Amino acid sequence: MIPRIVTTISIGLLLITAGFSNADANVSAVDNTNAVDSKSTALLTEQLQGVQTLQAQFQQTISNDKGQLLQQASGKLIVKKPQQLYWLTEQPYEHLVVTDGTSLWLYDIDLEQVNKENYNNNIDKAPALLLSGDVAAIQQNYQVAVLEQGDDEISFTLKPNASDSAFSQLTISFKQQKITRMVLKDNFDQTTTIDFSDVELNQPVSDQQFAFTPPVGVEVIENER
């Protein structure tokens, strides 16, 4: 079974790149709110709004509240606006999360099992809801702050205001406007860290990359959401 954290993180990443196409028009909507938070949100938007496609390799670790390593994984991902994602974990077990923006497929390659769901940008509430693309909504529902800022690097922390959010804090880091790391701390004090490498932005990606047909012989479970 594909870990739900994989879906949460991957959909969050999808909406990082997909959600800010109208960012310039929305920034003015938050002018009358907290000035510091407005500035941080605007800086975050600057990092995201120009991304049409993203391709990268990733290394993922999950650790508990004592810092003990629970899980390691690695693979590759491809994201394309508006809502297309291909997230393949290659090690230690193969599983795939892919969506064309209509259907979401979760394919456990080793178990030969596929779960199909209707794609919903509210899956797991966060970080998908967090990175919905509406800057005013982000500022209303989340506390956005600049964690660190250098000449060509910047990191943000995002904390949800809702008590039922799936995570307590998300940190996103960029270098030269390329995402380099996401760190998500959940409500069980587990920390998921994803480091990105070989990041390529705005290279041509065919829509066929996100078209999925279950292989013959695998079990398909359809879940309506």
User: HEC string of the chain?
Assistant: CCCHHHHHHHHHHHHHHHCCCCHHHHHHHHCCCCHHHHHHHHHHHHHHCCCCEEEEEEEEEEECCCCCEEEEEEEEEEEECCCEEEEEEEECCCEEEEECCCEEEEEECCCCEEEEEECCCCCCCCCCCCCCCCHHHHHHHEEEEEEEECCCEEEEEEEECCCCCCEEEEEEEEECCEEEEEEEEECCCCEEEEEEEEEEECCCCCHHHHCCCCCCCCEEEEECC
Nearest to 116 by CA among 102, 106, 125: 106
Q: What is the pTM of this model?
A: 0.79
Residue-level pLDDT, tens digit, the chain, 225 residues? 445 455 555 555 554 544 444 444 344 444 444 556 788 888 887 787 777 888 999 999 999 999 999 989 999 988 887 778 899 999 888 889 898 888 889 999 888 999 998 876 543 443 433 433 445 666 677 788 999 999 899 999 988 887 777 778 889 899 998 889 989 888 888 999 999 999 999 999 999 999 999 999 999 999 865
Structure token digits, residue 180: 């380099």
